[in-house]
Structure formats: C-alpha cells, structure tokens
A = this chain, B = another copy of it.
Amino acid sequence: MAKKDKILIVGLGLIGGSYAQGLSAKGFDVSAIDTNLDSIQYAMEQGWIMQGSTVDDPELIHEANLIISGLYPTTMVKWIKENQQFFQSHALITDVSGVKTGIVKEVQENLRNDVEFIGAHPMAGKEVSGVRYADAKIFEGANFIITPTEKNTEEAIERVRQLAVDLNFKTISLLTIEEHDRMIGFVSQLTHTIAVSLMNTNDNHDLKKYTGDSFRDLTRIANINETIWSELFLLNKDNLVKEMDEFIQTMEYLKKVIEQDEVEELKYLLIQSTTRRHYFDE
C-alpha cells in the first residue's frame, strides 16, 4: 500500500476497529462507516479514524481507493451491491470474513468491471465483540489468508499482502476459496461445534469447583457470538457437516472400544492421538 491510500473501513467492530487502530498507527488516512454512532465516536476519540459516518455517505465511499469490509458476511454482500455505484474507479475492496465459498463469488459476479474484490481472512479474534475491545495487538503472530480467484490481479494480491504486513501478521498464505473453507471447517468450526456441544450436553455447573485447566481450555470457545457464528456455520454447512460426521464416527468408535474392553486398540488410539498432537506443538 502506498501511504497516499485512503482507506475506508465499513463495520467498526472488534476486527474493523483493530484494523483502524493498526493502520492509522502506520500513518494511513483511515475513515469508517458504522450504523452505531458510539462506535464512530469512540474510534475518533482514539485517533483511529479521520472521518466517520453512520450512514452510507456517497462522498466518503467515493474518496477511498481501498475499502475493507468488517461486516458480517451476508451483510457485506448486500452492502456492496447497494453501494458499489459510489466506488471510485479502480478501487480495491477486501473483507475479513471467516468463510469464502458463497460470499466471494457472489460479490465478484455482481461487481462493476472497473473495481476489484479480493477475499481475505485475518485469523485472529477475541471472545468479545465491539470496537471498544479492538486491539491491533491481536494480529501480531497470527495467520492471514488471502483467497484469490481467477478474477483477481497480481497487483491486488500484493496490495492485500502488504496490508497484512502493515498489520503485523506473521504468516501470510494464499488458498483457494474451497481450500480455505475446508481448512476452516476443521480447524475452527468443528472445534467450536465440539465446545458448544459439550456445554449443551448437560447443565453441570454444580461441577464448577472440580473443573481444572483442561476443561476450561477445551470450553473457552463455547463462549460464542450467536449472530456471526450461526452465519459462518450455515455458509460453510457442507464442509462443517462432513467434519462433524467424521468426528462423531471417530468418537463412536472410541466408545465401542471402551465398552468392549479392547485394551490394545484403546492404547493404539491414545498413542495415535499423542503422535498427531505433537505435529501441532509450537
């Protein structure tokens, strides 16, 4: 990104706000649109944005040559359709959505020919939401995925890569939208459905005083924003349901092995688990 870039962030939540903080600290001219006046005022007070609006101000939109959507996926698709008339020619639009199939193509197929949309996924977050929790430090050491399609240019890929560098992401990767959604179905969504299912199994809060770090670590992500995660799960339904099926089958098998006292097979499964877990050691 050249320093002359004018960046517009649409949707000043936890991630949009953290982008605003990180990019303004690097000297970029950042503005924002968010329907919540308090969010705009807070970001102004913090010095994260130069201008802000609670409505889709055509002039503010037109001034930006880089537009970053911090909106929920389905809201973003709608916003771009309604506001692309105001985009300046050659503007680049990118996003922060946790799913890509069904979003990226939908946007690209309906986009004006003189602007470009490229999907991106900053793999960072917190178990809270809203601009008041924004903190650009969450990006340090985190992964950033760019999901170009055949509609994207090398220039756009490079520009978004530089955005990730400016935000201090550690590992920047390229994946197709299909690879991205398969990966996220396992690494993120399956683990969230597991934690949620564990909390929903029983109301066992009388057991609070016996829980240790293991239980707390495993269920930390059971504290979950129902609006964004229900969108993410449903948009990636095919991958997620397949992963859930495979996980349930594996757990059914472990249960059978325990029920039938198959000691050697049980030990084998525990050894395989330990071996595979070591791949993920830092």
CB-CB under 8 A for A199 and B272, given A187-B215, A215-B188, A280-B211: yes
CB-CB under 8 A for A210 and B276, given A218-B194, A221-B218: no
A226 within 8 A of B: yes
Which stretch, A21-29, A59-67, A153-161, A243-251, touches the partner chain B? A243-251
In chain A, residues 260-282, which have Cβ atoms closer than 8 Å to a Cβ of chain B? 261, 263, 266-274, 276-280, 282
Q: Is the CB of B217 within 8 A of A234?
A: no
- The CA-CA distance from A279 to B216 in the complex, in Å, is 11
Q: Is the CB of A210 within 8 A of B247?
A: no
Q: How many copies of this chain? A: 2
Q: Is the CB of A273 within 8 A of B123?
A: no
Most buried by B among A198, A220, A259: A198
A190 within 8 A of B: yes
- The CA-CA distance from A196 to B261 in the complex, in Å, is 17
CB-CB under 8 A for A276 and B227, given A234-B263, A266-B233: no
Which stretch, A5-13, A40-48, A200-208, touches the partner chain B? A200-208
A226 nearest CB across to chain B (Å): 4
Query: In the complex, which of the residues B184, B192, B266 contacts A234, with contact meaning CB atoms closer than 8 Å?
Result: B266
Q: Which 5 A-B pairs have the closest CB atoms?
A: A205-B279, A226-B270, A197-B251, A199-B273, A217-B217
29 contacting pairs across A/B (C-beta < 8 A): A123-B210, A143-B209, A183-B207, A187-B204, A187-B211, A188-B212, A196-B254, A196-B269, A196-B270, A197-B247, A199-B272, A199-B276, A199-B277, A201-B246, A208-B280, A211-B280, A214-B220, A217-B220, A218-B218, A219-B280, A224-B273, A224-B274, A226-B270, A233-B258, A233-B266, A234-B263, A241-B258, A245-B255, A248-B251
